[in-house]
A = this chain, B = another copy of it.
């Protein structure tokens, strides 16, 4: 098979560093173009120190002709607001695009501008964009030209809630509470006192509670899944003293207060029965970040508190892999007719139809 000729714009970002790493291990991809205005003509080791010594690759300026010549597919890791400036012209050239920014995730441009404080630059293209969560939209992704790669927090939350919501088990009158802790890599390479070791270590910091821009993304996808019943999410993100991973603790009410935990478990394993990257924890057990870091897995546990009639879902991912670069590779694979596991950790281990059940040590 001919290799996919892949380019990256915004190629000096932290997420791009991981994406390049994954693509360098991918059998069916050739990296043909790395665009960074800031690092133009520098070697990739200058931006991504773990990749120093990798040869034959250096950063280029943004040049549409070059991209057309060299690329079948482009990943955009440019910041929100900048990505939508470039993507329309790439699409016109027939190039496939996977946008890792938030620019094409929110389908309603009014909602986008409310939360992102900027008007959408290409609202006419929003309809073309497929929300790139493969566990939900595999078929649409296959035929898409433009993928809106999901946000890190929404990936953990939407996958965590999908079985309950699609089976109409959730009491949607009540607000769903999401309390998530993310590693500091979520802030990329931004330099501020908020990213200094002395302020992150031995600490945990809530931020943008109720106002974080991943909120409308979660609400959009969950409401769609609920047959356009409006789902409201109170989203409380926190930064924790580690580099990689997100743990989302999700609190909600079910319609049926006599729900048995084993039925919830069965619903989850059935819903995800042929999804290689979702693993479900056995009843009474809980997932942990450490088991998904450096992988493309989303591990999910679901508990039901009989005393209080509340349901708690625990969902963990690597924020930079399943929450960004790994999911982008998964999307690329699907768009290109490849096995979705290609180039991702443990690809040879996940070939059969899986029943994702392992006992955890922690009691729920």
Contacts and interface: CB of A to CB of B under 8 A. Distances in A.
A25 B348 contact: yes
In the complex, the count of this chain's copies comes to 4
A234 B312 contact: yes
Contacts of A43: 358
A218 to B, nearest CB: 13
Given A55-B354, A308-B175, A347-B25, A203 B234 contact: no
Tell me which of A193, A286, A295 has the highest count of chain B C-beta atoms within 10 A of its own C-beta.
Answer: A286
A141 interface: no
6 contacts: A50-B294, A185-B198, A203-B242, A211-B363, A232-B308, A234-B305
A125 B185 CA distance: 49
A193 B189 contact: yes
Contacts of A79: none
Nearest to A202: B242
A46 interface: yes
Contacts of A338: none
Given A185-B198, A200-B197, A203-B290, A364 B209 contact: yes
Interface string A188-232: 010111111111111111111111000000000000000000001
Contacts of A268: none
Contacts of A55: 349-350, 352, 354-355
Number of contact residues on A: which range applies?
35 or more
Interface in A144-202: 175, 177, 179, 181, 183-185, 189, 191-202
Interface of A: 14, 21, 24-27, 43, 45-46, 49-57, 175, 177, 179, 181, 183-185, 189, 191-211, 232, 234, 236, 238, 240-245, 247, 249, 251, 279, 286, 288-295, 297, 303, 305, 307-308, 310, 312, 314, 345-350, 352, 354-364
Given A179-B249, A194-B361, A358-B43, A24 B243 contact: no
A295 B244 CA distance: 17
Nearest to A14: B198
A53 B279 contact: yes
